[in-house]
């Protein structure tokens, strides 16, 4: 009705026209013209009998549409081309990720941690730290997560993981990857690439680094060159700071439940399954894009991969109760 039309138009001050047509030959032009009337105007439906819309079938409005050309869609390949990469080359990732308190808590909702340096703000501050420290394996997961390694076949393992400088919720991180070495497998069908993964905060300080080994389904040109990680990857400022707090730690006291001794084999009994949804959410937070983590259209659910950083972090978190209390961690040998 005219009243409904005027009610719809009330309060709008501009006029516009929406032109629509079908691309199937010469067809009359159908368009809708709406008069937008200011709310300050007195709307009298009886004084304005112009149509809300009209169909023009005059010869002047016929559209001469050329033969429709076929447009073929294309898939943009965001994966890095590592077929020609050489040792020593670096990849600076343009993305930035800010660790929020909710992201840290979301990690801890799946990965047990009984260590006060990760769970207690007053304890962390008593050691001269700003806040609870982001857990070691969350930093390892973030450092090793690659948004453009979409052609990777397998993640072989992590090694030489070091927490150089404390990271807190609210910090923003950027990544850098450096190719340390590469080789082809004996059957020449795959390649093994060793990568230094570096995480820098908003102040340009390297806070975490690790080495990550990956397998790719192609052969690379052979190279005997092996590049050493940068000197900053060997820094241990975080550890040195904790060592300097020895008197404070003695006054606070330890909360270790059971003593451990050299040569002791500890069997960890704590279990906690990680759901498929939780795994996908964590992978998304780390900006992983490999379809083997998500794509149930191509892969059966039983064929989806859990990111390696999550597997390692989950395994170690189940030992947290027995090894309580840990202040500092590093990973030396490949897992």
Identify whether the C-beta of residue 179 lies closer than 8 Å to the C-beta of residue 89.
yes
pLDDT the model gives residue 64: 57
Closest among 137, 163, 108, 157 to 316, alpha carbons compared: 137
pLDDT the model gives residue 72: 83
pLDDT the model gives residue 47: 46
pLDDT the model gives residue 57: 53
pLDDT the model gives residue 67: 56
Which H or E element spans position 159? strand 154-163
pLDDT the model gives residue 335: 63
pLDDT the model gives residue 51: 47
Residues of the chain with pLDDT under 70: 1-69, 79, 148, 335
pLDDT the model gives residue 63: 54
pLDDT the model gives residue 6: 54
Distance separating alpha carbons of residues 56 and 19, to the nearest angstrom: 12
Instruction: Return left, alpha or beta for 214; rule: phi > 0 is left, psi -120 to 50 is alpha, else beta.
Output: beta
pLDDT the model gives residue 169: 96
């Amino acid at each position: 009705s005219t009243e409904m039309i005027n009610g719809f138009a009330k309060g709008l001050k501009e006029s516009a026209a929406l032109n629509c047509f079908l691309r199937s030959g010469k067809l009359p032009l159908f368009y809708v013209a709406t008069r937008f009337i200011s709310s300050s105007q007195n709307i009298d439906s009886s004084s304005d009998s112009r149509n809300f819309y009209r169909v023009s079938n005059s010869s002047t409005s016929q559209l001469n549409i050329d033969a429709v050309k076929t447009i073929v869609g294309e898939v943009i390949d965001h994966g890095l081309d590592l077929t020609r990469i050489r040792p020593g080359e670096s990849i600076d990732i343009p993305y930035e990720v800010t660790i929020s308190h909710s992201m840290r808590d979301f990690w801890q909702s799946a990965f047990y941690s009984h260590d006060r340096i990760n769970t207690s703000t007053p304890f962390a501050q008593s050691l001269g730290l700003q806040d609870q420290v982001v857990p070691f394996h969350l930093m390892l997961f973030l450092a090793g997560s690659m948004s453009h390694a979409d052609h990777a076949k397998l993640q072989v393992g992590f090694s030489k993981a070091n927490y150089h400088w404390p990271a807190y919720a609210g910090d923003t991180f950027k990544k850098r990857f450096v190719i340390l070495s590469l080789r082809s497998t004996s059957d020449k069908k795959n390649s093994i690439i060793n990568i230094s993964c570096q995480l820098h905060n908003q102040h340009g300080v390297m806070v975490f680094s690790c080495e990550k080994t990956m397998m790719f389904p192609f052969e690379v040109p052979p190279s005997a060159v092996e590049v050493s990680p940068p000197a900053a990857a060997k820094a241990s400022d975080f550890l040195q700071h904790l060592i300097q707090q020895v008197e404070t730690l003695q006054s606070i006291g330890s909360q270790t439940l059971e003593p451990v001794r050299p040569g002791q084999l500890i069997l960890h009994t704590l279990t906690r399954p990680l759901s498929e949804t939780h795994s996908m959410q964590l992978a998304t937070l780390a900006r992983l894009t490999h379809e083997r983590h998500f794509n149930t259209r191509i892969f059966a659910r039983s064929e989806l991969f859990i990111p390696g950083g999550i597997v390692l972090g989950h395994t170690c978190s189940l030992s947290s109760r027995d090894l309580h209390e840990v202040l500092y961690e590093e990973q030396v040998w490949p897992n």
